[in-house]
C-alpha cells in the first residue's frame, strides 16, 4: 500500500471480526519474523505482519528522514486507518519493540495491550546517545560496504556472538534464520540502523511513567543487559509486568517459541477487551 512516502509490504491474516495483533520485527528481520508464533496462536486472533522501512520489500519513497522512528510511527498509524483498524494488540521485538513503545506512548488510544520483547525506551543521556549514534554509523557503513554474500554472512556471525543473544547460534534453526537475514538489502539496513537506531530515537524514559496501557515486558534469562533495562522500566511504569523467560537470550520468540506464545496468549486474553 502506497502512502505519501512509503510503499508498505504487509500481510493481513484472518478476519477483522477477531482481535488483531500487529507484529513489529527487529533489526534485520522481516514480515516472516513471527510466523512460528502465529502458527501456535492459531485462529484466536487475526494478524498484521509488515516489513518495516529498510527491511524486506517495503520501500521508502521519500528522503532519509522517513526511516526515523517518528515518521515510521505516523506511517503505521496511517496504515491502520487505511485498513480501518481502530484498535489492536501490539507486539514488538527489539527494534520493533522500541517502535512499539513509541507508538504506545504517542498513540495510546489505538492499542489495547502491548507486548515488548527485549525492548528499551532508548538512551536518556545525550553523551550515551552520541556514542551510540557513532557506533551505529560505523556498523551501518560496514554493512553498506559489504559487496559479497560471504561478507554479510560474516557480519551476521559476529553480530550473533554478542552476549545478549546467549546460545542462539546453537539453535537447530539458526542457519534458516541467517538465510532469511541474508535476503535484506544492505544499503537499506544501513539507513535503518542510522536513522532508527537506539541513539537516534527519542528517549522515552520520561513518558514511560505516564503510560496507562497494560504492557508485558519479556526478556530472556541470558540477556542480562535487557533484564536490567526492563527491571528499571517496570519500576517506572507500574502497569507494566516483567517476565523473564528461561532458555532464551535476546530473541525469545525464536529460541523459546512455546514459552513466548504461552505468555502473550495469557496476557492478551486474561481480561475482556473492546474492539470499538
Stated as kind and residue range, the H or E segment containing 115 is: strand 111-117
141-161 exposure pattern, b = at least 16 Cβ within 10 A, e = fewer: eebbebeeeeebeebbeeebe
- Closest-CA residue to 90 (of 24, 152, 30, 2): 24
Model confidence pLDDT, tens digit, residues 144-203: 787 677 889 999 999 999 999 999 999 999 999 999 999 999 999 999 999 999 999 999
CA dist 243 and 172 (Å) reads 25
- DSSP-derived pairing of the beta strands 20-24 and 88-93: parallel
- Write down the pLDDT at residue 270: 60
Beta carbons within 8 Å of 56's beta carbon, 6+ residues apart: 9, 30, 31, 183, 184
Model confidence pLDDT, tens digit, residues 26-44: 999 999 999 999 999 988 8
Domains with residue ranges and CATH for the chain = 6-123+203-269 (3.40.50.1820)
The upper half-sphere exposure of residue 137, i.e. CA atoms within 13 Å in the direction of its Cβ, equals 8
Model confidence pLDDT, tens digit, residues 107-135: 999 999 999 999 999 999 999 999 999 99
Amino acid at each position: 500500500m502506497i502512502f505519501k512516502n512509503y510503499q508498505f509490504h504487509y500481510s493481513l491474516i484472518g478476519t477483522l471480526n477477531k482481535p488483531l495483533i500487529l507484529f513489529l520485527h527487529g533489526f534485520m528481520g522481516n514480515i516472516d519474523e513471527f510466523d512460528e508464533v502465529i502458527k501456535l496462536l492459531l485462529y484466536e486472533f487475526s494478524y498484521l505482519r509488515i516489513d518495516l522501512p529498510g527491511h524486506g520489500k517495503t520501500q521508502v519513497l521519500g528522503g532519509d528522514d522517513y526511516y526515523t522512528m517518528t515518521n515510521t510511527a505516523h506511517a503505521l498509524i496511517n496504515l491502520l486507518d487505511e485498513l480501518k483498524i481502530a484498535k489492536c494488540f501490539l507486539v514488538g521485538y527489539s527494534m520493533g519493540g522500541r517502535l512499539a513503545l513509541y507508538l504506545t506512548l504517542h498513540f495510546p488510544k489505538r492499542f489495547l495491550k502491548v507486548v515488548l520483547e527485549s525492548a528499551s525506551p532508548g538512551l536518556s543521556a545525550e553523551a550515551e546517545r552520541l556514542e551510540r549514534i557513532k557506533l551505529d554509523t560505523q556498523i551501518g557503513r560496514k554493512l553498506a560496504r559489504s559487496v559479497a554474500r560471504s561478507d554479510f554472512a560474516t557480519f551476521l556471525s559476529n553480530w550473533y556472538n554478542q552476549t545478549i543473544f546467549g546460545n542462539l547460534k546453537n539453535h537447530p534453526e539458526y542457519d534458516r534464520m541467517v538465510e532469511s537475514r541474508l535476503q535484506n538489502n544492505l544499503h537499506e539496513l544501513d539507513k535503518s540502523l542510522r536513522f532508527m537506531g537506539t541513539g537516534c530515537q527519542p528517549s522515552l524514559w520520561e513518558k514511560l511513567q505516564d503510560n496507562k496501557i497494560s504492557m508485558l515486558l519479556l526478556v530472556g534469562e541470558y540477556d542480562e543487559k535487557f533484564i536490567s533495562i526492563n527491571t528499571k522500566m517496570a519500576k517506572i511504569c507500574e502497569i507494566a509486568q516483567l517476565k523473564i523467560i528461561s532458555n532464551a537470550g535476546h530473541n525469545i520468540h525464536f529460541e523459546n517459541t512455546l514459552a513466548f506464545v504461552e505468555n502473550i496468549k495469557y496476557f492478551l486474553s486474561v481480561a475482556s477487551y473492546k474492539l470499538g
